């Protein structure tokens, strides 16, 4: 085997070792034995003429060659996944796999109910749901459909603005009974606030309008939106939450609704090459309807 005839499986194995940091971890991920993983890595290194991993106290550490290969191997993996999804059903059938990506809260708290309703009339439909605040590359086919809070700029994407998600300050009734209701934004300095850990660019823009949103002011700091939401529900303090989502939790109370609100646009995005396939079109159209209904819940 030379560098021109390397099986894709070997690259997939290298990616698994990169992500897991060990042969045993890669073996579990791929459903192979550890000796098989080791042989494939050795064969790949021999074909490339370069070491990919060196042993360290914490496991296997990637060399500069492995790190340089990683984005290309990730691209190959995404292409393979997209290919398998594309051939998993005939174009005219509402069956096969659709990969959807959305933010943490959207993917965990909101979309599952919508996807359950979507699948009832189409039992042959399979959904891969990626709940992450990292934006997936639809052009690279990391996902088929995305729910985004920013407008995509690429011409090859179909994008529809559904509406806007309104955010407000919320706290559990038990916390407010214990610590009192703030009357102004200035009163928040005397309360336990839940907020971010890392200060991202969009947060710095918000701080100009809402000075209380400073890292030093938070009693609980986490960049996980789900962890923030859980802390609010468990009466830790006051934090930012989707207004419509809070309606599902009667013990959550809207705080300072007249002084604090944020609106983020919601876009549903799909690669234009997928619109001729029935399963993608049906999934996209149904999500448009359900997201529209969710965003326009009565006050």
pLDDT score recorded for residue 139: 57
β pairing state of 262-271 and 157-172: antiparallel
pLDDT score recorded for residue 49: 85
Tokens of 65: 């060659």
pLDDT score recorded for residue 222: 95
Contact 77, 140 (CB under 8 A): no
pLDDT score recorded for residue 113: 94
Domain ranges for the chain, please list them.
Answer: 8-86, 101-159+269-295, 165-263
| Architecture field, domain 165-263 | 3-Layer(aba) Sandwich (3.40)
pLDDT score recorded for residue 94: 79
Contact 116, 72 (CB under 8 A): no
CATH 1.10.10.10 fits 8-86, yes or no: yes
Block residue for tokens 């918000």: 206
Query: pTM for the full model?
Result: 0.67
State the SS3 of 68-92. Answer: HHHHHHHHHHHHHHHHHHHCCCCCC
Mean pLDDT per 10-residue section of the chain, whose length is 299 residues: 68 86 85 86 86 80 86 75 59 77 94 93 90 72 84 78 95 97 94 91 84 92 95 97 94 95 92 82 92 85
pLDDT score recorded for residue 244: 94
Q: Residue 122, class by beta-carbon neighbours within 10 Å (0-12 exposed, 13-18 middle, 19+ buried)?
A: middle
pLDDT score recorded for residue 298: 73
């Amino acid at each position: 085997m030379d560098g021109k005839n390397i099986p894709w499986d070997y690259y997939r194995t290298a990616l698994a070792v990169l992500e897991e940091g060990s042969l045993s971890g890669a073996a579990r991920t791929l459903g192979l034995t550890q000796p098989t993983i080791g042989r494939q890595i050795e064969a790949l290194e021999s074909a490339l003429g370069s070491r990919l991993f060196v042993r360290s106290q914490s496991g296997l550490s990637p060399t500069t060659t492995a790190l340089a290969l990683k984005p290309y191997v990730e691209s190959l993996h995404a292409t393979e996944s997209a290919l398998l999804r594309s051939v998993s059903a005939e174009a005219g059938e509402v069956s096969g796999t659709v990969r959807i990506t959305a933010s943490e809260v959207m993917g965990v708290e909101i979309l599952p109910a919508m996807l359950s309703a979507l699948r009832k009339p189409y039992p042959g439909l399979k959904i891969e749901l990626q709940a992450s605040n990292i934006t997936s590359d639809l052009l690279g086919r990391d996902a088929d459909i995305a729910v985004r809070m920013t407008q995509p700029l690429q011409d090859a994407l179909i994008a529809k603005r559904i509406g806007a998600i309104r955010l407000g300050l919320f706290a559990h009734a038990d916390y407010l009974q214990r610590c009192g209701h703030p009357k102004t934004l200035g009163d928040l300095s005397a309360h336990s606030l839940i907020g971010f850990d890392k200060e991202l660019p969009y947060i710095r823009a918000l701080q100009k309008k809402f000075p209380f949103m400073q890292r030093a002011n938070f009693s609980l700091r986490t960049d996980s939106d789900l962890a923030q939401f859980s802390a609010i529900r468990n009466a830790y303090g006051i934090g930012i939450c989707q207004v419509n989502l809070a309606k599902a939790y009667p013990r959550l109370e809207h705080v300072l609704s007249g002084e604090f609100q944020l609106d983020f646009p919601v876009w549903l995005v799909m690669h234009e090459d997928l619109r001729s396939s029935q399963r993608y079109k049906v999934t996209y159209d149904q999500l448009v309807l359900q997201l529209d209904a969710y965003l326009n819940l009565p006050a």
